[in-house]
Every structure is written in C-alpha cells, then in structure tokens.
Copies of this chain bind each other. A is one copy, B any other.
Amino acid sequence: MNTYAKVRAPATIANFGPGFDVFGIALEEPYDIVEMELTDGPSTVDSVPYPLPTSVTKNVASYAALALLGRAGRGDLSFKMTVTKGVRPASGMGSSGASCVGGALAAAALAGITSDADIVWAAAQGEGLATGNPHPDNVAPSYHGGFVAVRSLEPYAALHIMPEDLRVVAVLPDIRVSTKEARAILPATVPMADAVANVANASFVIHALMTGAYRELGTALEDRLSIPYRKALVTGYDDARAAALDAGALAFSLGGSGPTVFAIVEDNGPAVADAISGAFAGHGIGSTAYCTKIGRGAEVLALE
C-alpha cells in the first residue's frame, strides 16, 4: 500500500455569472498542494503560509479526507497532512474548495478510492464545515477541471465542458468577505422575472462555452439572483465592472461570494487586469491580479 500522496487542486470561480450555486470553473492558477502521509500516530494537519486550523476535525482539507475515509470504511487510517496554500483564504477563488479537493483526492489515492461521486461528496463535506453549506460548485470544478454545472450532490449529477483557451482575469481586492456573510445577505425568495432571466442567461452561457463563441458570453454572464445583493460587500464593484468592459473585457462578474471579481478576455488580459486594479485603487483598495485561463482539474502529482 502506498503511504504518501501529493496532490494539486486548483482555485476555482464558483457561480460563474448566472449559475449561482450551480456553475464553476477551474483556473490554471493559483492552486493548493496537499501532501498526505500515512502514519501510526494520531492524525495531524498543518497549513502554510496561512494560519488555518490545526485540528483534523476543524481543518477543511483533513475533514474532507476523514469524510471520505469514513464513508469508505477506512476510518482506521491515521495521517500527517500538509496543505500548501496557493489560494488565499476568503478570496472568492475557492480557497477552501481547493483544500477540500486536495484532502479528499489525497485520501482517495492512498485508500484506492476512485468514485468521482464519493470524492466530490467528501470534498463538499469540507465546504460544509467552512460555510455551513456543503455546496459543490467550487469542489466539483476543482476536481474535474474546466467548466462544471452541478445539478445534485446526492445522487451526483454534474455536466462538464472544457472550453479550450477560455482566458480569465481574476482580480482579488484587499477586502475580506466571509462566505457565511455573503450567503446571509441573500434573500430567501426572488422575483420570478429574475429567476427567468437567469435561466435564459445560463442557457446562453452553456451554448457559448460548448460552441467556443466566447463573445456571446457578454451580457449572458449577468446574474440577478446573487450579485445584486452581494456586490454591496465589494467596495468598487460597479467601477471595476465598468473599467473592465471599457478596457475590452468580453464579460465581467463576481467570483464566488467575492471579493474576487473576474473578466473573460481575449488577448487583452493585462490591460483589463490593470483597468480593474485601477478601479479598486480609486477606492484606496489594493489588489492582486491573475491573468490566467480555464484549467485542468485536480491531479495526483506523486504516490509512493
């Protein structure tokens, strides 16, 4: 039996416009690295460079691993886990989701578990620990790569599209938004017209991604279910959006529950990134920009 696994799990952008709680995409970067070594002693977990919980039942990566091992009847396994965070926590780029997928996939590799449904389910349990809601819209794309739409976690029903060379600018402003707060700000009911608009927009997004006609994303990436409420938590959102579109972005939206914003671009990524960062700077807010593209899913880098 192998005793060491090293896994890479990418950042993601959940919601992806009109797909609140349904759509997500994997990014080429940043990503988390999770290392897991089977041991005899009590299980441990450590995270660098961000200080995250060191209790295995409170850290999302180890929690996901434990959930998977428990479901597979391998709760007897003890491990030492190290999470190297490339994705900043509370960024809206699926930081906890990447760690959850890393933990679950590392455990899967060591325990010989191959069921996508089980791995995604376990990773979603980690998300539940982080946010109070085991939503799969970050973990599914981090696991599968590309674009994913999740209809149901149990039974697991997800569709995958790999939109080749979809270029994405993600800009992370120096603002803290907690996922719990971003969820609490949402209404329990929404106008029927907004639901209808999102169904239409989501349909156009699927079509554009499947045909590669990314220019059609345009206004189809607009959302009326979550962003109108959540953007209040991201100072400068409207200015960043206007600046991105002025700089030639094809589309613009909020990443996950924020504060990350993202734009779909052609070959003008750096200019769009500068425009967005400039808009935040106008509000006295620093930011980090990633000119990246849609990426592949989580992978086992080493298994020994």
Q: Which of B149, B161, B207, B225 is in CB contact (< 8 Å) with A200?
A: B149
Instruction: Give the Cβ gap from A151 to chain B, nearest Cβ, in Å.
Output: 4
- Interface segment among A112-120, A185-193, A244-252: the answer is A185-193
Say whether B189 contacts A191, CB under 8 Å: yes
Say whether B189 contacts A149, CB under 8 Å: no
With an 8 A cutoff between CB atoms, is A269 at the interface? Answer: no
Residue of B nearest to A225 (CB): B195
**How would residues 198 to 238 of chain A score, 1 for a CB under 8 Å from any chain B CB and 0 otherwise?**
11111111110010000000001000010000000000000
With an 8 A cutoff between CB atoms, is A194 at the interface? Answer: yes
Say whether A20 contacts B206, CB under 8 Å: no
When distances are taken between beta carbons in the complex, the residues of chain B under 8 Å from A239 are none
With an 8 A cutoff between CB atoms, is A18 at the interface? Answer: yes
When distances are taken between beta carbons in the complex, the residues of chain B under 8 Å from A187 are 192
Copies of the chain in the assembly:
2
Q: Which of B159, B197, B203, B225 is in CB contact (< 8 Å) with A196?
A: B225
With an 8 A cutoff between CB atoms, is A22 at the interface? Answer: yes
With an 8 A cutoff between CB atoms, is A266 at the interface? Answer: no
Residue of B nearest to A213 (CB): B159
Count, chain A residues at interface, CB 8 A: 37
A150 in contact with B195 given A189-B189, A189-B190, A190-B189 (CB within 8 Å): no
With an 8 A cutoff between CB atoms, is A21 at the interface? Answer: yes
Residue of B nearest to A150 (CB): B200
Q: Which of B192, B197, B204, B210 is in CB contact (< 8 Å) with A190?
A: B192
Complex alpha-carbon distance, A192 and B20, angstroms = 10
Instruction: Name the prevailing secondary structure of the A interface residues.
Output: mixed
Residue of B nearest to A159 (CB): B207
With an 8 A cutoff between CB atoms, is A258 at the interface? Answer: no
Q: Which of B152, B203, B205 is in CB contact (< 8 Å) with A22?
A: B203
When distances are taken between beta carbons in the complex, the residues of chain B under 8 Å from A190 are 189-190, 192, 195
A220 in contact with B151 given A198-B195, A199-B19, A199-B20 (CB within 8 Å): yes
Instruction: Give the Cβ gap from A208 to chain B, nearest Cβ, in Å.
Output: 9
A196 in contact with B149 given A159-B207, A189-B189, A207-B159 (CB within 8 Å): no
Q: Which of A107-140 contact B (CB under 8 A)?
A: none
Instruction: Give the Cβ gap from A265 to chain B, nearest Cβ, in Å.
Output: 22
Residue of B nearest to A205 (CB): B203
* A23, A150, A192 — most chain B CB neighbours (10 Å): A192
Complex alpha-carbon distance, A194 and B195, angstroms = 9
| Residues of A that sit less than 8 Å from B by CB | 18-23, 149-152, 157, 159, 161, 186-192, 194-207, 210, 220, 225
Q: List 6 A-B contacts (CB under 8 A).
A: A22-B199, A151-B201, A151-B204, A186-B192, A190-B190, A210-B210
